[in-house]
Structure 1
Amino acid sequence: MNRVRGTGEARAAETQPSAKKSLAKNLVFYTLARLALFAALTAIIMVVGSVAVDEFPLLLAMVLALLVSLPLSMVLFKSMRMAVNKDIAAVDATRRAHRENLEAKLRGEVE
């Protein structure tokens, strides 16, 4: 039983760097996409607001863009969000396996 656990942990340790890199890459792209959406919506609201009113407050445009971009990004960037969630689960599984291995070593179960 200990050998099977050790083999699985070795495989998890091998995939950890790539899982962390994938998580970092996907998280950066997802964050940049959400920021770009927010900036685009802010610009659109500012243009539309400037046409309707002489001076449209930037802060109001940013608040409106934030309120619109949050649910919109959930729909538009669903695949990116799911990729980030998958990578988080992989990194968490690796961390959990390392923790279980360490606890087993501390108990004296694994050599």
Structure 2
Amino acid sequence: MSGSRPVARLVADVLVYVAARLVLVAVLTGVIFAGGHLLGVREFPIVVALLFAFVIALPLGIWLFRPLRERATASIAALDERRRADREQLQARLRGEDPKS
């Protein structure tokens, strides 16, 4: 089925972007946690490191992963355009018009 290819591309692009953002949070969590230990804070909670990592990763991920985000956005736009064209074709058929092929 030719309709599954844009969907598969969309899913792949979005999963790559999400995975990259999650890896960034994991790396930042490790850096913050290790930094706390290097500074002598032996009982540094991992949850605090994770929360700081989330806050830092939000703007950093937007900047670092811009090409991935743009590719995912382009995939979403292509799928939306295809759905719009399919919907217009269906509405033309329902009105009894000769749909554009």
Shared fold (TM-score greater than 0.5)? yes
Q: Could you state the TM-score of these two structures normalised by the residue count of structure 2? A: 0.88
Q: CA deviation at 1:50?
A: 2.0
The CA RMSD over aligned residues, in Å, is: 1.6
**Percent identical:** 39
Q: CA deviation at 1:54?
A: 1.6
Structure-2 residue corresponding to 1:6: none
When you count helix as a share of all residues, which structure comes out higher? 1
Once the two structures are superposed, residues 12-63 of structure 1 have per-residue CA deviations (whole angstroms, 9 ceiling, x without a partner) of: x95x433222211111111111110000000111111122212111111111
Aligned residues: 98
Structure-2 residue corresponding to 1:24: 11
Q: Secondary structure at the match of 2:12?
A: helix
The 2-side partners of 1:90 and 1:69 are apart by 28
**Higher RCO (CA < 8 A, seq sep 6+):** 1
Structure-2 residue corresponding to 1:47: 34
Instruction: Work out whether 1:84 is the aligned partner of 2:84.
Output: no
Instruction: Work out whether 1:99 is the aligned partner of 2:54.
Output: no
The 1-side partners of 2:51 and 2:74 are apart by 31
Unaligned runs of 5+ in 1: 1-12
Structure-2 residue corresponding to 1:35: 22
Structure 1 runs, 4 residues or longer, greater than 6 Å off: none
Q: Could you state the TM-score of these two structures normalised by the residue count of structure 1? A: 0.81
